[in-house]
Protein backbone atom coordinates (compact mmCIF):
# COMPACT_ATOMS: atom_id res chain seq x y z
CA UNK A 1 0.00 0.00 0.00
CA UNK A 2 2.91 2.38 0.70
CA UNK A 3 4.07 2.10 -2.92
CA UNK A 4 0.69 3.38 -4.10
CA UNK A 5 0.79 6.32 -1.71
CA UNK A 6 4.30 7.28 -2.84
CA UNK A 7 3.29 7.02 -6.48
CA UNK A 8 0.32 9.34 -5.88
CA UNK A 9 2.52 11.88 -4.06
CA UNK A 10 5.02 11.86 -6.93
CA UNK A 11 2.18 12.29 -9.40
CA UNK A 12 0.81 15.27 -7.46
CA UNK A 13 4.18 16.98 -7.35
CA UNK A 14 4.57 16.51 -11.12
CA UNK A 15 1.14 18.11 -11.71
CA UNK A 16 1.82 21.37 -9.85
CA UNK A 17 0.05 24.29 -11.50
CA UNK A 18 3.24 26.28 -12.08
CA UNK A 19 6.80 25.29 -12.86
CA UNK A 20 9.67 27.40 -11.51
CA UNK A 21 12.79 27.74 -13.62
CA UNK A 22 15.96 29.82 -13.53
CA UNK A 23 16.94 31.82 -16.61
CA UNK A 24 20.55 32.62 -17.59
CA UNK A 25 20.66 35.53 -15.07
CA UNK A 26 19.57 33.17 -12.23
CA UNK A 27 16.24 34.97 -12.00
CA UNK A 28 13.19 32.90 -11.19
CA UNK A 29 10.54 32.53 -13.88
CA UNK A 30 7.17 30.82 -13.71
CA UNK A 31 5.59 28.91 -16.55
CA UNK A 32 1.91 27.98 -16.34
CA UNK A 33 0.87 24.64 -17.74
CA UNK A 34 -2.37 25.05 -19.79
CA UNK A 35 -3.34 21.44 -19.03
CA UNK A 36 -3.47 22.26 -15.31
CA UNK A 37 -5.72 25.28 -15.92
CA UNK A 38 -8.23 23.07 -17.74
CA UNK A 39 -8.18 20.51 -14.92
CA UNK A 40 -8.78 23.11 -12.22
CA UNK A 41 -11.74 24.69 -14.05
CA UNK A 42 -14.25 22.61 -12.10
CA UNK A 43 -13.04 24.11 -8.83
CA UNK A 44 -13.81 27.72 -9.74
CA UNK A 45 -16.84 29.32 -8.10
CA UNK A 46 -19.15 28.27 -5.28
CA UNK A 47 -21.46 25.30 -4.94
CA UNK A 48 -24.40 24.34 -2.75
CA UNK A 49 -23.51 20.86 -1.51
CA UNK A 50 -25.11 18.35 0.84
CA UNK A 51 -21.91 17.33 2.65
CA UNK A 52 -23.17 14.04 4.12
CA UNK A 53 -24.64 13.00 0.76
CA UNK A 54 -21.39 13.85 -1.04
CA UNK A 55 -19.23 12.14 1.60
CA UNK A 56 -21.31 8.94 1.34
CA UNK A 57 -20.76 8.83 -2.43
CA UNK A 58 -17.02 9.44 -2.09
CA UNK A 59 -16.62 6.43 0.21
CA UNK A 60 -16.08 3.99 -2.64
CA UNK A 61 -15.68 3.60 -6.38
CA UNK A 62 -18.63 1.87 -8.05
CA UNK A 63 -16.19 -0.49 -9.78
CA UNK A 64 -13.42 -1.38 -7.30
CA UNK A 65 -14.69 -0.02 -3.93
CA UNK A 66 -11.60 2.16 -3.27
CA UNK A 67 -12.23 5.63 -1.75
CA UNK A 68 -12.62 8.54 -4.18
CA UNK A 69 -10.96 11.96 -3.94
CA UNK A 70 -12.32 15.33 -5.08
CA UNK A 71 -8.88 16.17 -6.43
CA UNK A 72 -9.43 13.50 -9.11
CA UNK A 73 -12.43 15.35 -10.59
CA UNK A 74 -12.05 15.49 -14.37
CA UNK A 75 -15.16 17.51 -15.24
CA UNK A 76 -18.39 18.91 -13.86
CA UNK A 77 -21.89 19.11 -15.27
CA UNK A 78 -23.93 21.89 -13.67
CA UNK A 79 -27.66 21.28 -13.29
CA UNK A 80 -29.04 24.52 -11.86
CA UNK A 81 -27.63 24.81 -8.34
CA UNK A 82 -26.64 21.13 -8.30
CA UNK A 83 -23.67 19.52 -10.02
CA UNK A 84 -22.59 16.12 -11.24
CA UNK A 85 -18.86 15.57 -10.67
CA UNK A 86 -17.02 13.05 -12.83
CA UNK A 87 -14.32 11.61 -10.57
CA UNK A 88 -11.75 9.17 -11.91
CA UNK A 89 -10.72 6.38 -9.53
CA UNK A 90 -7.19 4.96 -9.34
CA UNK A 91 -8.55 1.92 -11.24
CA UNK A 92 -9.51 4.21 -14.16
CA UNK A 93 -13.29 4.00 -13.72
CA UNK A 94 -15.14 7.33 -13.98
CA UNK A 95 -17.75 7.75 -11.22
CA UNK A 96 -20.71 10.14 -11.55
CA UNK A 97 -21.07 11.87 -8.17
CA UNK A 98 -23.99 14.20 -7.43
CA UNK A 99 -23.63 17.12 -5.03
CA UNK A 100 -27.17 16.68 -3.69
CA UNK A 101 -30.24 14.47 -3.59
CA UNK A 102 -32.61 14.21 -6.53
CA UNK A 103 -36.14 13.01 -7.22
CA UNK A 104 -38.44 12.42 -10.16
CA UNK A 105 -41.59 14.48 -10.68
CA UNK A 106 -44.89 12.80 -9.74
CA UNK A 107 -46.17 10.63 -12.57
CA UNK A 108 -42.69 10.30 -14.15
CA UNK A 109 -41.06 7.95 -11.65
CA UNK A 110 -39.73 5.59 -14.33
CA UNK A 111 -38.44 7.92 -17.04
CA UNK A 112 -37.11 11.38 -17.73
CA UNK A 113 -34.45 13.45 -16.03
CA UNK A 114 -34.22 13.62 -12.29
CA UNK A 115 -34.89 16.92 -10.53
CA UNK A 116 -32.42 18.00 -7.88
CA UNK A 117 -33.90 18.87 -4.49
CA UNK A 118 -31.84 22.09 -4.21
CA UNK A 119 -33.38 23.41 -7.45
CA UNK A 120 -36.91 22.57 -6.25
CA UNK A 121 -36.23 24.27 -2.89
CA UNK A 122 -34.88 27.36 -4.65
CA UNK A 123 -38.04 27.67 -6.77
CA UNK A 124 -40.28 27.21 -3.72
CA UNK A 125 -38.22 29.63 -1.63
CA UNK A 126 -37.46 27.07 1.07
H helices of the chain, where?
2-14, 34-39, 51-58, 117-124
Q: Is residue 6 part of a domain?
A: no
Domain that holds residue 70: 33-100
Residue 90 to residue 81: CA distance in whole angstroms: 29
Q: Is residue 50 part of a domain?
A: yes
Q: Is residue 107 part of a domain?
A: no
pLDDT tens, N- to C-terminus, the chain (126 residues): 444 433 443 344 344 333 334 444 444 433 434 344 344 466 777 888 999 999 999 999 999 999 999 999 999 999 999 999 999 999 999 999 999 999 888 877 778 778 899 999 999 998
**DSSP letter (8 states) at residue 53:** H
pTM over 0.75: no
CB atoms within 10 A of CB 82: 23
Q: Is residue 18 part of a domain?
A: no
Amino acid sequence: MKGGKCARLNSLSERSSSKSQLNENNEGTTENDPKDDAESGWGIGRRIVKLKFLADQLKSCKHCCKPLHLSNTTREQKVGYASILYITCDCGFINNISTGKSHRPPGKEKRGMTVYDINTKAVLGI
